[in-house]
Amino acid sequence: MGVEIERKFLVRDDTWREGARGKAIRQGYLALGPPVAVRVRISGAAAILNIKKAVLDIEREEFEYAIPLDDAHTLLDGLCSGAVIEKTRFEITHAGVLWEVDEFHGANAGLIVAEVELASIDQHVVRPPWAGEEVSDDPRYLNTSLAQRPFREW
């Protein structure tokens, strides 16, 4: 069993962009939860089926499995609930820790969120200067929520 420990922050400015390279991601949900969210994600030529406990907590059970790319396209194009999420993910290392910055497009355009995955729930994190307000406890910023009520509708 996998466990994800993750904190989320709004991005306060564009200084993170210097030297950052991103990759396009399309993802949708077969089940939005609770209690379980089932996600299909395409990133480049890779496709993943993800099963995650759909609770508002920084620590959640998570399972991921590679699936055929054609299957992922079929699932995204016809079987997902809510909006398909489109975003560009940038990976940035700060103070020796990998941060992922997601710049959303489509119905969630204008939203930029930084995430950091932790090894333990009490791990100290040095926040980059561009990481603003923490939104780990705000359900609106869950991708499952963004699929149901996109950022542009807030």
3-state SS of the chain is CEEEEEEEEEECCCHHHCCCCEEEEEEEEEECCCCEEEEEEEECCEEEEEEEECCCCCEEEEEEEECCHHHHHHHHHHCCEEEEEEEEEEEEEECCEEEEEEEECHHHCCCEEEEEECCCCCCCCCCCCCEEEECCCCHHHCHHHHHHCCHHHC
Which tens digits make up the pLDDT trace of 72-107?
999 999 999 889 999 999 999 999 999 999 999 999
Residue 106 host element (H or E): none
Q: What is the pLDDT of residue 56?
A: 60
The residue annotated as part of the active site, out of 16, 29, 90, 99, is 29
> What is the pTM for the complete model shown?
0.91
Q: Is 29 a catalytic residue?
A: yes
What pLDDT does residue 128 have?
Answer: 97
* Confidence at residue 149, expressed as pLDDT on a 0 to 100 scale: 96
- pLDDT for 4 equals 81
Q: Look at residue 113 in the predicted model and tell me its pLDDT.
A: 98
pLDDT at 1: 56
Domains along the chain? 2-153 (2.40.320.10)
User: What residues of the chain score a pLDDT lower than 50?
Assistant: none
